[in-house]
Chain A
């Protein structure tokens, strides 16, 4: 009886197993993602100092009115948006260029792929520490400035000048991250049928035309995906400025996440920090929904 499979009993058995299988993961997701998410929004309506947990006052939208009048918040938002708007196209274009360089099989191709990917083998902490030294303003101790001086240029105070600090972080981040996106693009390029290129070159299409009319449309989905993950990653910028500039000089590298950290963990303004976190979350959600909308609208 059991061997032939009592359908009714098996379905029930399957249902019980299903709940047992999803329960641990779902309970963890709810306890440590959903609940804190709700609490972030909830606490943003309270005056809540970490040092005085017995004195929590409901203040409605006061945190938000304070936030929108807070100059430091706007600076942090501006810096985060600036970083994202520059680094996303730069890094994606760089990654696509690298992928095109190493997409065909040739002698030594895997060596070049590994070279472009190699910054990914170290962590952001390592990269940030290393480049703090490379970016050193003194040409006798900073490798990059020593190179600039050798080329007859003036040394640059990369991390100590408010006009260059964020750009220095952008350059470093693109250098570190491009290899990862390159790998995604390589897979995307493999998905474009070879015959399309062959047909095009028989018709006398130039390399540029092939890139414009075959490669780019063929990579459409991949490009959108890469832009989306790079964008979300960029919005979370914290490690690089924390290690390299501590948000300075003159707040030039203070980001939203950095500001959440400063307000919540350093100054103990927990409720206020929750309102920044809520705004940050809303921005990220709107950005990913917009990207998703664009992605699905064109397909």
Chain B
């Protein structure tokens, strides 16, 4: 008797646990489901059955809205701009910040402590606080509306330097000594021995910064004012305000802009989640 009531209460709490998770899960994903559903519907249908659950499911899905976005937004150009921007900044980010992080972890030189302090201190500096003179700097250099203005000012990142430093710090000195004895120069040791065994940290910084730059809004918004210079977030934002306002097409544009992130998440989920998590442990 007692045993079965215990079993019943365990079953009940299990049920409540799943029920709670499902309800909260639905609250979290329903706006996104609605977005996808609306992107597949004709404009007239989006707001036609707002009162029923059918608003979350297109009755006859079509890609017409996606074609409209393609025709109106110059998507190829937008994707080209965004991917070029991300490729260039990540290349510099991974190269320069890992070199700096390695020097701070493994070399001894005068000024090392000062540089490390500078890196840690600048980590909390918000871009928004310095954007005015930075913009003037860009316009005096003639960089406004060029890729350089997007890439160069934010290629060096304190957070990346710090993550690289923490990772390289744990690499055993014996390994580096051994490479020196084999005749490797300090730089050669880094590029030939250390980099190949550090794929995890490169993957982590890559995915964190890919996401950050794909989502970038404010700085591109300030320096990339030309219509054919827009990155994806700028294109989405301006599409929202462009006549004719077709909500179905707007939803399609939102979905399109999320697709690369979803692909990245599927392939690099492990590094992405680890990167987010490790920032909390080390920070």
Q: Which residues of A contact B (CB under 8 A)?
A: 2-5, 10, 13-15, 17-22, 24-26, 28-29, 31-37, 39-40, 43, 98, 101-102, 106, 108, 111-112, 115-116, 118-119, 121-126, 129-134, 139-141, 143, 146, 150, 175, 179-180, 183-188, 191, 222, 225-226, 228-229, 232, 235-236, 238-239, 243, 257, 260, 264-265, 270, 273-274, 277-278, 280-281, 284-285, 288
Contacts and interface: CB of A to CB of B under 8 A. Distances in A.
Contacts of B100: 21-22, 24-26
Contacts, number: 252
B218 interface: yes
Contact of A281 (B51, B104, B126): B126
A108 B187 CA distance: 47
Interface of B: 17-18, 20-21, 24-25, 28-29, 31-32, 34-35, 47, 50-51, 55, 96-97, 99-100, 102-104, 107-109, 112, 115, 118-119, 122, 124-126, 128-137, 152-156, 158, 161, 180-181, 183, 185-187, 190, 214-215, 217-218, 222, 233, 236-237, 240, 247, 250-251, 254, 257-258, 261-262, 265, 273, 276-281, 283
Contact of B181 (A3, A14, A119): A3
Interface residues of A: mostly helix, strand, loop or mixed?
helix
A236 B124 CA distance: 12
A187 B130 contact: no
Given A3-B181, A129-B236, A130-B35, A277 B218 contact: no
A280 B130 CA distance: 10
A235 B124 CA distance: 12
Given A22-B115, A133-B247, A17 B187 contact: yes
Given A18-B107, A180-B276, A13 B186 contact: yes
10 contacts: A10-B180, A13-B185, A15-B107, A26-B100, A115-B29, A121-B265, A134-B34, A175-B28, A175-B31, A281-B129
A13 B32 CA distance: 56
B128 A260 contact: yes
Contacts of B280: 184-185, 187-188, 222, 225-226
Nearest to A133: B247
Given A33-B125, A108-B21, A284-B124, 7 more contacts: A13-B185, A111-B25, A121-B261, A124-B217, A125-B217, A130-B251, A134-B31
Contacts of A264: 131-132
A21 B126 contact: no
A111 to B, nearest CB: 8
Nearest to A281: B129
A222 B214 CA distance: 27
Given A24-B156, A101-B20, A122-B32, A116 B25 contact: yes
Contacts of A257: 128
A32 B152 contact: yes
A104 B229 CA distance: 47
Contacts of B133: 35-36, 39-40, 43, 274
A260 B96 contact: no
B258 A121 contact: yes
Q: Chain B CB within 10 Å — which of A28, A31, A106, A108 has the most?
A: A28
